[in-house]
Chain A
Amino acid sequence: MTQQPGSPGFGPDLAEVFGPSQSDGGPELVQLLTPEGERVEHPDFRFDSGDVPEDEAIRGFYRDMVLTRRIDTEATALQRHGELGIWAQLLGQEAAQIGAGRALRPQDYVFPTYREHGVAYCRGVDPLNLLGLFRGVDHGGWNPNDNNFGLYTIVIGAQCLHATGYAMGMQRDGVVGTGDPDRDAAVIAHFGDGASSQGDVNEAFIFAASYNAPVVFFCQNNQWAISEPIERQTRIPLYQRALGFGFPGIRVDGNDVLATYAVTQAALQRAREGQGPTFVEAYTYRMGAHTTTDDPTRYRLSDDVEHWKLKDPIARVEVYLKRNGLAEDDFFAAVRTEADELGHHLREGCRALPDPSPLSMFDHVYAEMTDELAAERDGFAAYLESFEGAH
């Protein structure tokens, strides 16, 4: 890892402290499927697809990741065509999100940041709802309790405290550690490497540890917080921070859907059983820009992008399936067709999303409308009407 930029003498060279380059995630990285598409063993984690035959599960992951990437590329294109104000891209993070999203049970609850499009997809949220937020028709069009998938949170890190509090509520409701797998529940909080610097995130760690809350902190370390490299947020591998707060931290290859699934499932299981929080660092890379308004050429080396393309999370599963004869051409063709249909749904649906009425901004400010606000709304309605008459 490189010397912290711009601060000669401000700290030791990380390479001296942690050994040679960590750009591959280091020896602690949990991996079950290599970038070359080979299955490997890990002493602590094993891919277990449960009741579903393993090959079928892996084909399912492949499909999930392809569809998730399609949501992302389609939304990016829609933004370029002026249909969305902005889009937060996830290119390269599909495995981290599908691995985590598929490890959830229906009764678990998700507190996402603003980039969890793959997790939203796993929870059954119509991706059109995600587009609505970025188009500016609402602040999140889905009901969080329909799918146990919270609204996107834009203020960095805030949701980690909400997740912890929600988990504390589950404890009080007696749905943790009952031994009934259909009943025991946990919470997962998603956030980025940059977010790990926020006070809220660190306070969430303290609360979760202190109350042994059933929460998994799932950090997608995509190496960048807009223009700032991971070195600007931490001087030690992120997963090692957890120990200081009093709970386990695991670094998993976030481009390996099998490993991400296995590790997240284990962490969620610990939480459901009442063994408390876990920090999962999904080691991955943001292949696209931070958002569609960002210009990574100002700060990032294109060499790095090329390097990470070789670790593409979808390609490695495809190679694995093909090389082992686990999927035929018609399977891949069917997934492509499905992706095309999804793309069509998003294009048509996005353009058809109606703008809210101006007066709708007065709705839901309070659970009980105030006379004061109602008067303001009525005044504005009259003003708008006077206008229509004049034209």
Chain B
Amino acid sequence: MAGNAQRITLAKGLNMGLRKAMEDDPKVLIMGEDVGKLGGVFRITDGLQKDFGEDRVIDSPLAESGIVGTAVGLALRGYRPVVEIQFDGFVYPAYDQIVCQVAKMHFRSQGRSKMPMVIRIPFGGGIGAVEHHSESPEAQFAHTPGLKVVACSNPVDGYWMIQQAIACDDPVIFLEPKRQYHADKAELDESATPEPLFSSRVIRQGTDATVIAYGPMVKIAMAAAEAAATDGTSLEVIDLRTLSPLDMGPVLESVRRTGRAVIAHEAHVNLGMGAEVSARITEECFYSLEAPVLRVGGFDTPYPASRIEEDFLPDLDRVLDAVDRSLAF
């Protein structure tokens, strides 16, 4: 279907996905700070207010608790709000609404009240920003039962995953790697059948060790695999895509073959997603392991000043270093 294919960025994929979701379902609303005329500070909602009007693409007051809290009410009324949190570090004023209300409404009402809400959060660092603009808060949400948490890593997933998240009847925390927004282009075929939303995927096959990543680290994991190949090391790379529920199937299958696993994310290592993935691998394929499961992540410090963020963020070398340590066992 080459005729349908076009090359797009992640920002464009998300924008097209949002547009498609709004066309398909008149109950879909977009809410957030600056999402209207400005098209969001990252321009992800660019042009949507112009085409769908101010009642469907809603510039909200500057109040995150207000944005999410009113989205709860709209969802209770049958709408499907898609809210944008401007930057990861600004989700916390809404944290109470998200973990105490959004996450628990279905449970509390014994299934009578659905919360079909998507909370989009540009996350992660690497853009030279000031404080609170580079955080990776995923574990805080993945630790909350009732929320589903996904992270896209590429333009094609961006296009499909945002639509699937909007169609989902559960609340979805939708993490977008902001440093990837305008970085790379990929070919999108809108007539293709997408992968299911809550599924992990092997994106490079290999035999010596499995590298597991999501969001912004996927690109780095792929680059590490590329570099390792030149040294004769064959790395399998898995894009986790869904953090809650965790789709461990492809991960376990892979680690059983390679016997080695390295998990990479930008978030702090301590109690991060890597801890959960590691624990599950250890529980499920202990006898296949040739080495302990290793984690590579941001240090357990607050996100530092941007001039040294490259030292904080795991890079290709740190991933390869972990792979070497794993292979040395």
Contacts and interface: CB of A to CB of B under 8 A. Distances in A.
Interface of A: 5-7, 85-86, 114, 133-139, 154-156, 194-195, 197-200, 225-228, 232-233, 293-295, 298-299, 355-358, 360-362, 365, 372-373, 376-377, 380, 383, 387
A289 to B, nearest CB: 11
A137 B305 CA distance: 6
24 contacts: A6-B59, A85-B129, A114-B130, A134-B130, A135-B307, A136-B130, A139-B305, A154-B131, A154-B132, A155-B90, A155-B132, A194-B62, A195-B62, A225-B62, A227-B36, A294-B41, A298-B37, A298-B39, A355-B308, A356-B305, A361-B301, A365-B300, A376-B300, A383-B318
Interface string B204-242: 000000000000000000000000000000000000000
Contacts of B307: 135-137, 355-356
A294 B41 CA distance: 8
B55 A361 contact: no
Contacts of B36: 6, 227
Given A7-B55, A383-B318, 9 more contacts: A6-B53, A133-B130, A135-B307, A195-B62, A198-B63, A227-B36, A356-B308, A358-B311, A360-B304
Given A155-B90, A199-B93, A233-B62, A380 B299 contact: yes
Interface residues of B, number: 44
B38 A226 contact: yes
Contact of A365 (B39, B93, B302): B302
B66 interface: yes
A304 to B, nearest CB: 14
A154 B131 CA distance: 7
A133 B307 CA distance: 10
Nearest to A373: B300
B54 interface: yes
Interface in B47-81: 53-55, 58-63, 65-66
Contacts of A194: 61-62
Contacts of A7: 54-55
A9 to B, nearest CB: 10
Contacts of B53: 6
Task: Give the interface centre of B55, B59, B132, B309 by most chain A CB atoms within 10 Å.
Answer: B59
A138 B302 CA distance: 12
B39 to A, nearest CB: 7
A308 B305 CA distance: 36
A138 B62 contact: no
Contacts of A360: 304, 308
A200 B93 contact: yes
B312 interface: yes
Contacts, number: 123
A198 B89 CA distance: 15
A138 B305 contact: yes
Contacts of B59: 5-6, 227-228, 232
Given A134-B130, A365-B301, A358 B37 contact: no
Contact of A361 (B66, B308, B317): B308
B170 interface: no
B128 A85 contact: yes
Contact of B130 (A154, A227, A228, A357): A154
Interface of B: 33-34, 36-39, 41, 53-55, 58-63, 65-66, 89-90, 92-93, 128-133, 270, 299-302, 304-309, 311-312, 317-318, 321
A362 B128 CA distance: 19
A155 B27 CA distance: 31
A372 B268 CA distance: 13
Contact of B306 (A85, A226, A372, A373): A85
Contacts of A155: 89-90, 92-93, 132
Nearest to B39: A298
A7 B93 CA distance: 26
Contacts of B39: 298
Rank and list the top 10 A-B pairs by shortest CB-CB distance, nearest first. A6-B54, A136-B306, A227-B38, A358-B311, A194-B62, A197-B61, A361-B304, A299-B37, A85-B128, A197-B63
Contact of A233 (B34, B61, B93): B61
Nearest to A85: B128
B318 to A, nearest CB: 8
A218 B69 CA distance: 28
A362 B301 CA distance: 6
Contacts of B41: 226, 293-294
Nearest to A359: B311
Nearest to B132: A154
A295 B46 CA distance: 13
B130 A226 contact: no
Contacts of A372: 270, 300
B38 A156 contact: no
B298 to A, nearest CB: 10
Contacts of B317: 387
A210 B21 CA distance: 47
Contacts of B312: 361
A356 B321 CA distance: 24
A86 B37 CA distance: 22
A86 B306 CA distance: 11
A197 B311 contact: no
A387 B316 CA distance: 13
Given A7-B55, A155-B89, A376 B132 contact: no
Nearest to A202: B63
Contacts of A227: 34, 36-38, 59
A198 B128 CA distance: 26
